[in-house]
Amino acid sequence: MTTWQDEASRDLLNLGGRLALLVRGEGSHVWDADGTRYLDFLGGIAVNALGHAHPVFVDAVSRQAATLAHVSNYFATPQQLELAARLKRLAGTGERGHVFFANSGSEANETAIKLARLHAHKTGKRTIVSLNGAFHGRTMGSLSLTPKPLYQDPFQPLLPDVAHIDPTIEALEAGIDDTVAALVVEPVQGEAGVVPLPDGFLKRARELTTAHGALLIVDEVQTGVGRTGEWFAFQREGIVPDAMSLAKGIAAGFPLGALVTFGDHDLFFPGTHNSTFGGNPLATAVGSAVLAEIEDTGLLQNVTDRGAQLRAAVEGLPLVTGTRGAGLLIGMTLSAPVAGEVRDAAQRRGLIVNAPTADVIRIAPAYTIGDAEVDEFTTLFSAALSEVAASDMKDNA
Ligand code: PMP
């Protein structure tokens, strides 16, 4: 008999294997087509900052859809202007900052790459540098900055004049020179297994890029908009980048990306870059409503507190050797390469987490979680770990 999972794997081009068909969400829970309830601690991979079907989100979508859903970008709308102003204030760009709206993290990074190219043309520099372990997206430009053979090799040739260095201060010292137009970095490498940059890396990166006239671009697609307990992760390091890409949590489930610039980067002019849907009133109204909710209800403090609570709760559980990350972007390192098994065992018990690498489990729950969600997570996760640890012991017996 053909099941809906078989249909899904046949019809969707983006994934092989059998998929759970999710049909509804509320708060931190989602339900599949069979009525099974899951605790969603992945949050659409760090997207659903307010959880599912939050009244603020629902209200912003429905009000704006009924008012003005889309106009061409020959026109401005109050929704674009409000969100741009809000982002500039929260990021501390000052008056000279600019915001370009896109529809995804990859597109925000494409915009960053074009900014770097314009800077290269203006200065005679060539190279864009990104870090080994980075993930910046899968469109051709952003993929060029994502040095993983599995992702890149089938699609070569990619962008020329891109170099990759290790995420260490020694590699920075050796790799940033006068030929470099821009350095692009994630403050925490999410897809690499929630790996924060070494202490002092961003500070040194800022010093070296400034000294060599290169742009420092931070990819905060995963870390931005409160996910780490700060509005933006770079703020913890006391530096100011030249540009920052955003997406994921910015509209908490509505497709929206942005490139925010700091300082004098009036490099785009009408005609050089644009996107039909970018900055449309519906997406930007939702973005403003989401940011206002995070700000007005003090959710950043909850992100910090619940992050610490979750990290303490998993310390000492079977297979867990440690935790890393910041706020509610947490990687749990395992003593064996069994993260896929742990993820599947968790899902069978009604808990959604993911395995960015063979020995790391990542969680990125909603900023709104409370004691009930932390307790439910701890119970389900610890049972999943015990199951995998027991079967591991049997295999090794
Ligand atoms: N940059 C980072 C740091 C990301 O984590 C991701 C998505 N995982 C992207 C860029 C790409 O974003 P999108 O999938 O929205 O294009």
Same domain, 347 and 276: no
Residues 6+ apart with CB under 8 A from 244: 91, 217, 218, 219, 220, 224, 232, 234, 259, 260, 262
Please give the tally of structural domains in the chain: 2
Same domain, 196 and 134: yes
Residue-wise pLDDT tens digits, 343-393: 999 999 999 999 999 999 999 999 999 999 999 999 999 999 999 999 977
Annotated active-site residue in 101, 234, 248, 254:
248
Q: How far is the C-alpha of 354 from the C-alpha of 361, rounded, in Å?
A: 6
- What average pLDDT does range 314-335 have in this prediction? 98
CATH number of the domain bearing residue 16 = 3.90.1150.10
Residue-wise pLDDT tens digits, 77-92: 999 999 999 999 999 9
Structure tokens at 109: 């990074």
- At residue 10, does pLDDT exceed 70? no
To the nearest whole number, what is the mean pLDDT of the chain? 94
Last residue of a domain, one of 296, 313, 330: 296
Same domain, 152 and 280: yes
Contact 102, 259 (CB under 8 A): yes
Whether the link from the prior residue into 318 is cis, omega within 30° of 0, is: no
Instruction: Give the closest residue (by CA) to ligand 1 atom 14.
Output: 105
Report helix, strand or coil for 188. strand
- Look-up: residue for tokens 């700000």? 295
Same domain, 9 and 147: no
Same domain, 302 and 280: no
Last residue of a domain, one of 296, 315, 337: 296
Residues of the domain holding 380: 4-53+298-396
Rg (CA), the chain: 21
Residue-wise pLDDT tens digits, 18-48: 568 899 999 999 999 999 999 999 999 999 9
Half-sphere exposure (Cβ direction) of 51: Cα atoms closer than 13 Å: 19
Residue-wise pLDDT tens digits, 120-174: 999 999 999 999 999 999 999 999 999 999 999 999 999 999 999 999 999 999 9
ipTM of the complex: 0.99
Contact 204, 27 (CB under 8 A): no
- At residue 8, does pLDDT exceed 80? no
Please indicate, yes or no, whether the overall pTM of this predicted structure exceeds 0.80: yes
Write down the pLDDT at residue 264: 73
Same domain, 130 and 10: no
Write down the pLDDT at residue 355: 97
Same domain, 218 and 360: no
Give the binding-site residues of ligand 1, using a 6 Å CB cut-off. 45, 104-106, 109, 135-137, 186, 190-191, 219, 221-222, 247
CATH number of the domain bearing residue 277 = 3.40.640.10
- Look-up: residue for tokens 């897809």? 191
Same domain, 271 and 326: no
